[in-house]
Amino acid sequence: MNDIAIETFVLGPLETNCYLLTCGKDAIVIDCGLDPLPLMQAIVDRNLNVQAIYLTHMHFDHIGGVSALQKITKAPIYGNLEDQYLNDIPFKHGGSLEFKELLDFEMTDLKTGRQMLFEKPMMILETPGHTPGSLSFFFPSISSVFVGDLIFMISAGRTDFPGGDHDTLINSVKKRIFILPDETQIFSGHGPMTTVIHEKKNNPIFG
């Protein structure tokens, strides 16, 4: 059985991390920001079978390229419908109101719990705070969790946009992320990869 490989594509003007996870020729995508051509080119060039597109949350810099990606892959899109209120909020407040032409995709509501991907488990974690519908995706087989804008290396996601809540974010990190094994790699929506133990020891926001 093949291992899961992780590739990072930094997309769009806000340098959003988009993750391509592959196992042989099968693949999934986690988040997809604006200007997704490098990601789409890699998928086409390697003839990958994208089984699904998963969204950590629905801020525009994480979903601006989803429609274009879905058109070439035909992959279903999964996320939390609680975040769809952002489609009616102006961009300067974290929403997508001015860019609805780029949001012509259907999304299936994703429930928390265990799924099987690549014949391996993926745990869908409810991690609100940055947005009410923020989700994280934990893959025990590769000791990796994908958290969107929940937590960054020695930092955390902003909570001043509509729907954000600082105390809720702190609670999500402590009760959903910091309970994972210390060696778990944290793949954030922006910036470098970190680990659970590194953030426990060094992140001043969660001290």
Whole-number pLDDT of residue 137: 98
Number of domains, the chain: 1
Q: In angstroms, rounded to a whole number, what is the distance separating the alpha carbons of residues 58 and 71? A: 18
Q: Give the per-residue pLDDT at 130.
A: 97
| pLDDT exceeds 70 at position 1 | no
- Tens digits of per-residue pLDDT, 114-173? 999 999 999 999 999 999 999 999 999 999 999 999 999 999 999 999 999 999 999 999
Q: How confident is the model at residue 15 (pLDDT cuts 50, 70, 90)?
A: very high
- Quote the pLDDT of residue 207: 76
Residues 76-104: pLDDT tens digits?
Answer: 999 999 999 999 999 888 888 888 888 88
Report which residue type is found at 130: H
More confident: 100 or 112: 112
Q: What is the distance between the alpha carbons of residues 31 and 17, in angstroms, rounded to a whole number?
A: 8
Residue with tokens 């079978």: 49
CB of 162 within 8 A of CB of 175? no
- Looking at residue 176, its pLDDT comes to 98
The pTM assigned to this predicted structure is: 0.96
Q: How far apart are alpha carbons 26 and 184 in whole angstroms?
A: 23
pLDDT at res. 103: 85
Answer whether residue 195 shows pLDDT above 60: yes
* Whole-Å CA distances, 165 to 34, 123, 128, 129, 130: 26, 23, 8, 5, 7
Instruction: Tell me the C-alpha distance between 130 and 162, whole Å.
Output: 9
Q: Which residues pair with 108 in a beta bridge?
A: 78
* CATH (domain of 74): 3.60.15.10
Of the candidates 100, 155, 161, the one whose C-alpha atom is nearest the C-alpha of residue 133 is 161
Q: What residues have CB less than 8 Å from 202, skipping those under 6 apart?
A: 154
Residue 31 pLDDT class (50, 70, 90 cuts): very high
- Kindly tell me if the per-residue pLDDT of 2 is higher than 80: no
Q: Are strands 108-109 and 77-79 parallel, antiparallel or unpaired?
A: parallel
Question: Residue 199 belongs to what domain range?
Answer: 5-206
